[in-house]
Chain A
Amino acid sequence: MVARPNIHVKSKVAIVGAGLTLFRRRMLETPRELAWEAARMALEQAGLTLRDIDCVVVGSAPDAFDGVHMKGEYLADGAGGIGRPTVRVFVGGGTGVFVPIAAWWHVASGLCRSVLAVAEEKMSPAHPHPQGVFAYIWDPILERPLGPNLIWIFALEMRRYMYKCNVPKETIAKVSVKNKRNALDHPAAQAAAKITVEDVLKSEVLVWPVQRLDISPVSDGAAALVMVNENEARRVTDSPVWVEGVGWTLDNTHWYNRELAYPRYVNYAARMAYKMAGIERPWKEIDVAEPYDPFDYKELHHIEGLMLARRCEAPKLLEEGWFDRDGELPTSPSGGLLGVGNPIAAAGLMKVAEIFWQLRYEAGARQVKKPVHKGVAQAWGDLMQAATVVVLGV
């Protein structure tokens, strides 16, 4: 069921600039002002202006968070999309990494020479808590009558993973400790902290086994990339970062008829991207990774789906420090969603931006210790069903 992508593209695609706003719980700026700030910074870093941009891809998760319908159209001016071929893409939490995937095919097809790829999310407007907005992702007939909270499904998946892989909560909590610590060096970070496993285990129990510090925060923010074809890339920079592979998959919404301990859909998306990138042994060939971590256990789950560890092996490697910033295969060196914050689509794109900065050795205090040539960023979404994967290389 792994897709067999056509790898004969019209042009290679490079990332030549990235931009980011602060990630915070409540922001003065409107969603499109946030989009504009990130887009302008990405252009500036690329040494380009909006005149140099052919097409625009916008990504944002459910409209209900910002509370504005047609969010793509709403964000278009802030994202530089006016008068240009502009499209908004959406695959729930997977959206942030889907934005550069869509931008990739705009350029790889030869249709556009340069694309501004912008992701924005403002979760804070929804009251009394954005949790309520998630009520509408459940099946109206068979699920909503039970009065579900979004965290239920994560807790059920986490419990299943703990059972199948025999992982204690103490181990899973170490992901939160690692990512929040990594985020101390990230200038956008909202939830950076020096915490201990104890702190996680003592935090408020929401839906056991999920506790407050197992989860990423509610955030506002935006991120942007400039992506161009090979000619443009050679013209504007000496250090382009190439998009070597892209992959994405949807599974069905019948999540309670599926084994939750292993994300099949992430594996399919990863295999598609690796095939395109010519990667046969990702656990050896990938130098740095940004797996999606809205919850701590999900990072481990996704590391396994991405084949960076064998099934049920990620917790053991985590204990050994394998995924630390100075480890064998650093994961979420940015600090991830747990540390930097989780403005949904923007958080996914932030992960791609982090791999971009890592491969250019521009990550400053966050730069991983080992030499890096190839990295992977991944996002996940919806009812345990959407996966988006991007492989970058230099």
Chain B
Amino acid sequence: MGEPRLPGTYLKEKEMYQLPGIVEHRPDAKYSFSAGQAVSRFLEGLKQGRILGKRCPRCGRVYVPPRSYCEYCFAPTAEWVEVSGEGEVNTAVVSYISTFRERLEEPEIIAVIRLYAPGYTGKKDEYEFPGIFHKLCGVKPEDVMSGRVIGMRVRPRWKPPERRVGSITDIECFEPVEG
């Protein structure tokens, strides 16, 4: 590529703050999000300690969390189904950092849970499945690293009813099913 030296001027952090006219700005924006037709009812279910999904009447796909429409059939998912909340760990990791990359004192275990739902076949190679993204408790980081956690049977640990507000955090975490 014939160019000995490419354009662009690197600044060290100190140099950056010595530049004239550095402007700092922190956006102050607050949003209120509505959860929509399907997920509002899902959140209402969580408040009652229930996990709800929807089934597409055309192809039979079960969506947990629920969706108002089937993206394949492009038809309304008219039928509600309830699942037990039990499932198996699809993948899990150990987080040592916060959203803004600060070091956490206690690592958290994060997982994708594949839920037992109508149509569950037990096959391990399905591309799509009803599932939830949440935290795991009652397992150690070493269990995640060794791979012992993957495939483990888990269930939701609910907050007490009086502390539930209709949020994904009404589930405290997913924990191993004993035995």
* Contacts from A to B (Cβ < 8 Å): 18, 20-29, 34, 37-38, 41, 67, 128-129, 131-132, 135, 140-143, 145-149, 151-152, 155-157, 159-160, 163, 187-188, 205-210, 220-221, 252, 254, 256-260, 262, 264, 357, 362-364
The residue from A22, A143, A262 contacting B8, defined by CB atoms under 8 A apart: A22
Chain A nearest CB from B147 CB (Å) reads: 6
> Contact at B112–A256, with CB atoms within 8 Å?
yes
The residue from B7, B43, B91, B101 contacting A159, defined by CB atoms under 8 A apart: B91
> Contact at A206–B169, with CB atoms within 8 Å?
no
Q: Which residues on B sit within 8 Å (CB–CB) of A208?
A: 93-96, 141, 144-145
Q: Which residues on B sit within 8 Å (CB–CB) of A357?
A: 1
> Contact at B93–A207, with CB atoms within 8 Å?
yes
Interface residues of chain A: helix, strand, loop or mixed (majority) = mixed
Given known A163-B150, A207-B94, A259-B127, contact A29–B8 (CB-CB < 8 A): yes
Please list 18 pairs of residues, one from A and one from B, whose beta carbons are closer than 8 Å in the complex, sorted by A's number.
A26-B16, A27-B8, A27-B9, A34-B8, A140-B31, A147-B99, A148-B99, A149-B95, A151-B95, A151-B97, A156-B111, A208-B93, A252-B71, A256-B132, A256-B133, A259-B129, A260-B91, A264-B127
Q: How far is the CA of A34 from the CA of B10 in the complex (A)?
A: 12
The residue from A143, A148, A209, A256 contacting B131, defined by CB atoms under 8 A apart: A256
Q: Which residues on B sit within 8 Å (CB–CB) of A159?
A: 91-93, 144, 150
* B105 at interface by CB-CB < 8 Å: no
* B178 at interface by CB-CB < 8 Å: no
The residue from B6, B12, B96, B131 contacting A20, defined by CB atoms under 8 A apart: B6
Given known A152-B93, A259-B127, contact A187–B10 (CB-CB < 8 A): no
Chain B nearest CB from A81 CB (Å) reads: 19
Q: How far is the CA of A206 from the CA of B93 in the complex (A)?
A: 10
Q: How far is the CA of A335 from the CA of B96 in the complex (A)?
A: 28
* Chain B minimum-CB-distance residue to A24: B10
The residue from B11, B127, B147 contacting A163, defined by CB atoms under 8 A apart: B147
Q: Which residues on A sit within 8 Å (CB–CB) of B1?
A: 18, 20, 187, 357, 362-364
> Contact at A149–B168, with CB atoms within 8 Å?
no
Q: How far is the CA of A259 from the CA of B90 in the complex (A)?
A: 9
Chain B nearest CB from A49 CB (Å) reads: 18
Q: Which residues on A sit within 8 Å (CB–CB) of B127?
A: 258-259, 262, 264
Q: How far is the CA of A254 from the CA of B133 in the complex (A)?
A: 10
Q: Which residues on B sit within 8 Å (CB–CB) of A28?
A: 9-11, 19
